[in-house]
Amino acid sequence: MSVDTATVRHIAKLARIAVSDEEVAALEPELNNILGWIEQLQEVDVTGVEPMTAVIPNQLRLRDDVVNDGNKRDDVLANAPNAEHGFFAVPKVIE
Amino acid sequence: MSDYRIHGATGEWEVVIGLEVHAQVVSNAKLFSGAATAFGAEPNSQVSLVDAAMPGMLPVLNGECVRQAVRTGMAINAQINAWSRFDRKNYFYPDLPQGYQISQLYHPIVGEGEIEIELEGGATAKVGVERIHLEQDAGKMLHDQHPSMSYVDLNRSGVALMEIVSKPDMRSPEEAGAYVRKLRSILRYVGSCDGNMEQGSMRADVNVSVRKPGQPFGTRTETKNVNSVRFIMAAIEYEANRQVEVLEDGGTIVQETRLFDPDKGETRSLRSKEEAHDYRYFPDPDLLPVELSDAFLAECRESLPELPDAKRARYQDGLGLSAYAANVLTAEVETARWFEQLLAATGEEHAQRAANWVTSDLFGALNRLGRTIEDSPVSAAQAAELLTLTADGTLSGSLAKQVFEIMLETGQDPGAIVEERGLKQTSDTGAIEAVIAGILAANPGQLEQYRGGKEQLFGFFVGQTMKAMQGKANPAVVNELLKKALG
């Protein structure tokens, strides 16, 4: 599998990352290099090997159904470029 | 299944419907954070730094949400997956601060199940459920508060949803409506979702396609976020007719997302993105797989209440109720709960009388007062007392109705009303005989006609006697004594 410049632009757009033409030109071989490594890894026969989900034996921890967070509107909004009346305010998006 | 058809110019079309119902899980805290889930709070007051996706924040799964999803799966006899996993669904929108929704694409917690639906005329049908998975809700956007800005409230961001995906098994708006009503009923019995469609606790994405009967499935459209049973049915009807029109005009159906406009009763295209949806799902590296122990699963199963189908069958077969009564008493969990409190007080031997009273007298009164059974002015205990007073002969049927009206107005106990207002039915033969003698003396003309063979005048004498005794005479005793006096 390999990517062309159109795919690089598509991926960048999906990730909302602006890339210049020069960057696209540089990213294409870089991404293909990475994909090459992945392809090499895929040659390993993993038949019968359980996928590893943690490096040490570990179980998902669950939280109790208790309200112990929230009520920090000012903190939540502190980094927002724009906030009004307790809401985040963003350029109008209407579908 | 259904013989519902769209009659087009080129013949009949069958409609194929699948529903994705988003049901908000009943929990105090969110799916991955300790912020509250209560409806109607001040904007952004129920948001943790996890829900706002601040850098470095990590999700911790709420065990109760897992339990509710598993219980829901068990209630529809579904496959429960003891091993499931969360994935990231990546997209950008202002109501999604993480830039991805944590969901379960590859390994949902609940697999295939099925729901039995009741159709008009007593027919039933089965609708398959493909899967149920847990996922985060997004925030809420307000577009009409500012000329050039949209406002974002993240209170809902991170609240747990169950996405319940049906198979494309429904063939008419009626079946889709029955499916949503039944699903809602089950969720409310289980207690895993409050089913409040006005507040958005339950909403459906409606997938519709049409085909000539016997042909393969056509291309479907998805109408998003429809929030009432009536709108779901209207959206299906509109969309099916629209598709038939497009196809018969030689056009093709585009697989797209549409929006239902309740004011106009129509669907319209939401967006035909130049970029196809590409969510780039991958396992969420912040979360380990969800592994459920046998003990956890056993606890979930034991915690399930008697479900609507089982309850309905028991009411019919065990209590001898009519199919109609069994249906209306079990459709809503609150009604069933109320009825069972009533039965506990009266004893099950009075089930049929109690059912008749609830479905006619109580429902009639609640309807008239615009109330639901949850805020009924008369409690189940008070109703039981009223039924007992009727059963033991203290009250006649008409006196019971009078007492019930007073109970609705004052909230008093029936026993107190009977005492206070002297509404007790009398079987005192001496008193009744005295009144009858007076009535006969006062109506010599009628008496003569009756004795001359005009027997329908018997009712007149009953009426006069009851009236003279202010409705408090035992009707059976009145009948008996009148017959004796007239004969």
Q: Dump the DSSP string for B69-136.
A: HHHHHHHTTPPB-SEE--EEEE---TT-TTSEEEE-SSS-SB--EEEEEE-GGG-EEEEEEEEEEEEE
**CB contact set of A83 (below 8 Å; sequence gap of 6+):** A77, A89
Contacts 24+ apart (CB under 8 A), B258-262: B258/B221, B258/B222, B258/B223, B258/B224, B259/A95, B259/B223, B259/B224, B259/B225, B260/B206, B260/B223, B260/B225, B260/B226, B260/B231, B260/B234, B260/B235, B262/B231, B262/B234
Both B343 and B439 in one domain: the answer is no
Residue B1 lies in a domain: no
Of B270, B297, B324, the position where a domain reaches its end is: B297
In three-state secondary structure terms, B481 is helix
Here the ipTM equals 0.91
* Structural domain total, chain B: 3
- Token duo for residue B19: 């529903």
In three-state secondary structure terms, B275 is coil
pLDDT tens per residue across span B167-203: 999 999 999 999 999 999 999 999 999 999 988 899 9
**CB-closest option in A72, A86, A92 to B150:** A92
**Region for B77 from its dihedrals, namely left if φ exceeds 0, alpha if ψ lies in -120 to 50, beta otherwise:** left
Give me the pLDDT at residue B397, please.
81
Q: Note whether A94 contacts B: Cβ–Cβ < 8 A.
A: yes
Does residue B225 contact residue B197 with C-beta atoms inside 8 Å? no
Q: What is the mean pLDDT of each run of 10 residues along chain B (487 residues)?
A: 87 97 98 96 97 96 98 98 97 94 97 94 92 97 92 97 98 97 97 94 97 94 95 97 96 92 90 68 95 97 96 95 93 94 92 94 94 93 92 83 92 88 76 86 87 86 85 80 83
Paired with B190 in beta bridges are none
Judged by CB atoms closer than 8 Å, whether chains meet at A65 and B62 is answered as yes
Residue B103 lies in a domain: yes
Please list the helix, strand and coil fractions of chain B in percent, rounded to the nearest 5, in that order: 40, 20, 40
Which residues of chain A have a CB within 8 Å of the CB of B58?
none
Round to the nearest angstrom and report the end-to-end CA distance of chain A: 36
Its domain, for residue A31, covers 5-41
Residue A10 lies in a domain: yes
Its domain, for residue B28, covers 6-297
CA distance B90 to chain A (A): 9
| Closest residue on chain B to A14 (Cα) | B91
* Structural domain total, chain A: 1
Distance (Å) of CA B297 to CA B291, B292, B303: 11, 7, 10
Report how far residue B85's alpha carbon sits from residue B71's, in angstroms, rounded to the nearest whole number. 18
Residues present in chain A in total: 95
Report the CATH number at residue A10: 1.10.20
B479 Cα distance to chain centroid = 46
Which residues of chain A have a CB within 8 Å of the CB of B49?
69, 72, 75-76
Report how far residue B407's alpha carbon sits from residue B387's, in angstroms, rounded to the nearest whole number. 13
Of B297, B320, B341, the position where a domain reaches its end is: B297
Both B282 and B333 in one domain: the answer is no
Residue A12 lies in a domain: yes
Give me the pLDDT at residue B468, please.
83
Residue A28 lies in a domain: yes
Q: Note whether B25 contacts A: Cβ–Cβ < 8 A.
A: no
In three-state secondary structure terms, B153 is strand
Give me the pLDDT at residue B274, please.
47
- Count the Cβ atoms, other than its own, within 10 Å of residue B252: 8
Report how far residue B323's alpha carbon sits from residue B306's, in angstroms, rounded to the nearest whole number. 18
| Closest residue on chain B to A91 (Cα) | B149
Q: What is the mean pLDDT of each run of 10 residues along chain A (95 residues)?
A: 90 92 95 95 93 86 97 96 96 78
Residue type, B13: W
Residue A92 lies in a domain: no
Report how far residue B61's alpha carbon sits from residue B289's, in angstroms, rounded to the nearest whole number. 11
Give me the pLDDT at residue A48, please.
94
Q: Between residues 41 and 80 of chain A, which touch chain B (CB distance below 8 Å)?
A: 53-54, 58-73, 75-77
Both B156 and B116 in one domain: the answer is yes
Does residue B265 contact residue B202 with C-beta atoms inside 8 Å? no
Paired with B135 in beta bridges are B161
Report how far residue B243's alpha carbon sits from residue B257's, in angstroms, rounded to the nearest whole number. 14
- Token duo for residue B318: 């065990």
Measured at the alpha carbon of residue B337, what is the angle toward residues B332 and B341, in degrees to the nearest 5? 150
Judged by CB atoms closer than 8 Å, whether chains meet at A92 and B141 is answered as no
Residue A32 lies in a domain: yes
Both B41 and B151 in one domain: the answer is yes
